Amino acid sequence: MTTTAAPIKGTCRVCGCTEERACPGGCAWADATETLCTRCYAETAVGLGRDDLTPCACCGGHLTGPDGKSITFWRFTDERFVLMVNAVRRAHGLDLMVGPTLAGVFDPGEHLAKRAGDAVPVLVCDKCSVEHSLAALVERIASRSEEASA
């Protein structure tokens, strides 16, 4: 893995993938500058620094475990996407015209959903991760971020 000297928006600075030529298995942009893909981010992220450690995004408390002593927590990335209806219609139309097998061959590789906004990493204490479902966590985090921005 090498890192290019001057990052170019829309090209991963580690592996060189782009919107049109994603990593095998797929990837997305891990940063707002669109210069690091999620696959390379996962491979290069070794830990969190002092500035990365924030209170629990759910309860606002310290990052402690259910026993109140251990320091364990979860890091989630909140990403919101918008389904591109016209792209879905084109893909469906291609399926109807030539069948799913040939449509897979002729598919231009158009994205059916686009990211709406930046990916936001949040930390959640172990206690909240045990006490709440994922849907409840997302809802609580969204309401806390709305309160903070108001």
Domain ranges of the chain: 1-46, 48-149
Looking at the chain, the whole-number percentage of residues with pLDDT higher than 70 is 85
pTM over cut 0.85? no
What is the per-residue pLDDT across 21-68, written as a single tens digit (0 to 9) for each?
Answer: 888 888 888 877 888 888 888 777 667 777 778 888 888 888 866 666
What is the pairing mode between strands 73-78 and 120-125? antiparallel
Q: How far apart are CA 150 and CA 15, in angstroms?
A: 39
The rounded distance, in Å, linking the Cα atoms of 80 and 114 is: 9
CA–CA–CA angle 129, 134, 138 (5° rounding): 100
